[in-house]
Amino acid sequence: MISPLGDPLWRSRRSALAALLVALAGTLPACAKRPALRIAGHPWPGYEPIFFAESQKQLTESVVLQHFPTIKDSIDAFREGRVDAAMLTLDEALALQAQGMSLQVILVMDVSKGADALVASKGFETLTQLRGKRVGLEPSTLGELMMSMVLDRAGLKRAEIKPVFLAFEEQEAAYGAGKIDALITYEPVVGRLVAKGANKLLSTQDLPESIFDVLVVKTDVAKDYAQALEQTLQGHFWALEQLRRNPWDTAYRMVPHAGVSAEELIESFRGLELPDLIANRRYLSRDSGLLAGVVEKLSAIMLVSGNIKKPVNAANLFTDAYLPRVHG
């Protein structure tokens, strides 16, 4: 019996079939693995727990942290669609939503309890002494928000001071060179300048529940990455537990990414509240209304200062849907 494989006609049909399969393969969608969720972040003590979780292999491979040098870079990447999520201040998130971005706050990373401040050179004892003086601030929603609260406390109008816009990385040098009389900034610069003799005239210790750092995700992306987001938050809370149990050891291991000393990190953490899972449930639950109240207050301040043009609708701004059910 002659094998059909030896038949020239069969061989030609087999070759034709193979060619057809190759052609079809080029037209069919590949069963490729879903691309990783991209999260933007930059050096800031309140963000270090999640970067630490990444360095300790506590994050799933379906999540990639994109490391940027400044908050402006993180915001630009998020706005331009180069990342799907970002670690930002709550006021920056409100500004983005007011600009038309659909996003959700899924984690409260920290609450400033003194880490953001106004420092001034020697001789300044009261806020009213800022009249006519050069006040440095970052050209950001956060800088403008702090400025508006400082002016409100001082009883001054914006026209009565001289704003000097400085990128965060330029602030310390500008202050040291005497180019400004006072500076609105945050840790670790606050601690460094105070150690050199600057007076801390006002901080978020005096302005409770005003500056929050949060993790925000684009609404149309979040549901597709529900499990990855929950695992990411799990890693964040794991890192917080390491920091609670072994603060100095954990701080030393955070140094390579943070770019500051362990001592500066520990000092910065003293000016922050780092909400655990239980606290996040209270903040993000619609029933408690905690974050809704904060958003309403911030929205009013930002309206007056001109950072947003209309009140922010907090109805769908935050969710506790991605918080871990348990954490270890």
CA atoms within 13 A on the CB side of 317: 27
Residue with tokens 């209309």: 310
Residue 204 main-chain phi, psi, to 5 deg: -70, -5
pTM: 0.85
Q: What is the dihedral of CA 47, 146, 296, 293, to 10 degrees?
A: 60
The per-residue pLDDT for 306 is 84
The pLDDT score that the predictor gives to residue 9 is 41
Residues with Cβ within 8 Å of 298's Cβ and at least 6 positions away in sequence, in order, are 90, 91, 94, 145, 210, 312
- Ranges of residues in the chain whose predicted pLDDT is under 50: 1-31, 327-328
pLDDT at 31: 45
| Tokens read off for 208 | 């409770």
Residue 218 pLDDT: 97
Domains defined for the chain, CATH in brackets: 37-111+211-305 (3.40.190.10), 116-203 (3.40.190.10)
- Output the pLDDT for position 32: 58
Q: What pLDDT score was predicted for residue 325?
A: 82
pLDDT at 311: 82
- Listed in order, strand segments (DSSP E) in the chain are 37-41, 63-67, 85-89, 103-112, 116-120, 134-137, 162-165, 182-186, 199-203, 212-218, 272-273
Give every CB contact of residue 281 below 8 A, 6+ residues apart in sequence. 320, 323
The amino acid at residue 272 is: L
pLDDT of residue 34: 80
